[in-house]
């Protein structure tokens, strides 16, 4: 793959060299002294069930034309982001430095600790909750998770549906947690993928 201008060759200020950098304005500072110990997985496709287009990128950069598709109307004025977005072919885009707080989990709690955005990294997978994800996405996700765990004290990976039960349902039944667990056991550092 050709290197685009602006793509770093190594970690720099929380930006991973394995991703295309696309800066989102939707982020803020983490609370002082906060350790990043959790990764929250999400799924998204815009319009729902359509893949490969620019709409997710536009949503995270506040440039989505909410009149372009009926499904976009509910997104008007929404300011959201994730640190990473993994497309169906395994290509990764990064929208927020890992040093910053992306706006991905919303009202959330994990193991009795609230405000997961403060101490987590958010990764979006291109897909729908009820459908299977691609092998390339699992391979890239495992590679990204290992890179994150080497850089930050991350101990667990879980889903948006698990930190916001009843409110969110992604990545949903189409996501193969045992498959991710097997990939993460192959190499160090080892992470634990947990659903409860």
What are the DSSP calls for 120-160, one per residue?
EEEEEEES-TTSPPPHHHHHHHHHHHHHHHHHS---EEEEH
Nearest residue to 119 (alpha-carbon basis) of 15, 196, 31? 31
Q: Which of 35, 93, 99, 124 is catalytic?
A: 124
Question: Is-catalytic flag, 35?
Answer: no
Cis check: omega of the bond before 34, within 30 degrees of 0: no
> Cα-flanking dihedrals φ and ψ of residue 75, to 5°?
-95, 0
> For the chain, what is the total number of helices (H) and then of strands (E)?
4, 11
Q: How far is CA 119 from the centre of its chain?
A: 14
Q: Just list the catalytic residues.
A: 124
């Amino acid at each position: 793959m050709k290197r685009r201008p602006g793509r770093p060759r190594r970690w720099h200020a929380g930006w991973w060299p394995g991703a295309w950098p696309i800066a989102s304005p939707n982020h803020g500072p983490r609370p002082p002294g906060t350790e990043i110990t959790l990764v929250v997985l999400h799924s998204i496709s815009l319009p729902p069930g359509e893949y490969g287009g620019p709409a997710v990128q536009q949503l995270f950069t506040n440039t989505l034309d909410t009149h372009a598709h009926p499904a976009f109307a509910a997104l008007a004025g929404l300011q959201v982001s994730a640190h990473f977005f993994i497309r169906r072919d395994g290509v990764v885009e990064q929208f927020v430095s890992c040093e910053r707080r992306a706006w991905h989990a919303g009202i959330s709690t994990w193991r009795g600790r609230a405000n997961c955005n403060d101490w987590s990294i958010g990764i979006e997978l291109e897909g729908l909750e009820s459908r299977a994800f691609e092998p390339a996405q699992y391979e890239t996700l495992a590679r990204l998770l290992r890179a994150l765990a080497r850089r930050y004290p991350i101990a667990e990976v879980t889903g948006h549906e698990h930190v916001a039960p009843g409110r969110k349902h992604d990545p949903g039944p189409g996501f193969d947690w045992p498959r991710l667990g097997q990939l993460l056991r192959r190499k160090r550092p080892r992470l634990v993928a947990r659903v409860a």
